[in-house]
């Protein structure tokens, strides 16, 4: 295959990024085997955290599978994502009880504060925002969780303070 057909060609940049080396190893292990696509996508997602477009192209070329099929499989299974994930996933419960108690306003506040939509990831790479079905904590409605932490009886005005906690912890870890 000609160089021009290789999906992305920032070889110099990528050579320094060991994730691409791992990806090449994964592809090499599965190339030529039937049914390789799903396990390769799975392992690639473990390496990168998500499946960016250039990784999809490298997998398509490496396994000789059409890119349209790679994209079809990724979008079919909810376990794959082509969007980067933040360090923490925020899940806002949209079950009936939470909804009635104002989950929509909480969600709106999160979107505003983070500057993203549902399923988006904040620019600092810290948070991915999702909505969830009823998490069974209706007594605490409205509820959200950030990673393993659960927050209940939320009001929109609580949000800023909660987010700042994670942001500060991150700054301290960096310093």
Binding site for other proteins (CB under 8 A): 2-5, 7-11, 52-54, 56-57, 60, 66-72, 75-76
Complex with other proteins: residue 73 or 104, whichever CB lies closer: 73
Q: How far are the Cα atoms of 48, 60, 84 from residue 56, in angstroms, in the given order?
A: 11, 6, 13
Strands (E), the chain: 88-93, 127-132, 144-146, 149-151
Least distance to other proteins from the beta carbon of 12, Å? Answer: 8
Q: How far is the CB of 58 from other proteins (least distance, A)?
A: 9
Closest to other proteins by CB, 57 vs 104, is: 57
CB count in 10 Å sphere of residue 145: 19
Closer CB to other proteins, 2 or 174, in the complex = 2
Closest distance to other proteins from the beta carbon of 3 (Å): 7
Question: Which runs of E-coded beta strand occur in 81-162?
Answer: 88-93, 127-132, 144-146, 149-151
């Amino acid at each position: 295959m000609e160089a021009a057909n290789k999906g992305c060609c920032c070889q110099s940049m990528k050579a320094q990024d060991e994730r691409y080396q791992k990806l090449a190893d994964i592809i090499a292990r599965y190339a030529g085997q039937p049914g390789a696509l799903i396990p390769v996508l799975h392992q690639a997602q473990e390496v990168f955290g998500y499946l960016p477009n250039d990784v999809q192209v490298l997998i398509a070329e490496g396994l000789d599978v059409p890119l349209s099929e790679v994209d079809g499989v990724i979008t079919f299974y909810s376990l794959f994502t082509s969007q980067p994930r933040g360090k923490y996933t925020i899940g806002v419960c949209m079950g009936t009880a939470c909804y009635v108690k104002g989950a929509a306003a909480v969600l709106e506040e999160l979107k505003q504060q983070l500057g993203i939509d549902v399923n988006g990831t904040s620019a600092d790479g810290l948070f991915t925002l999702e909505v969830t079905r009823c998490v069974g904590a209706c007594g605490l409605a409205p509820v959200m969780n950030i990673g393993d932490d659960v927050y209940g009886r939320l009001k929109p005005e609580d949000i800023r303070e909660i987010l700042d906690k994670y942001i500060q912890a991150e700054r301290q870890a960096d310093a």
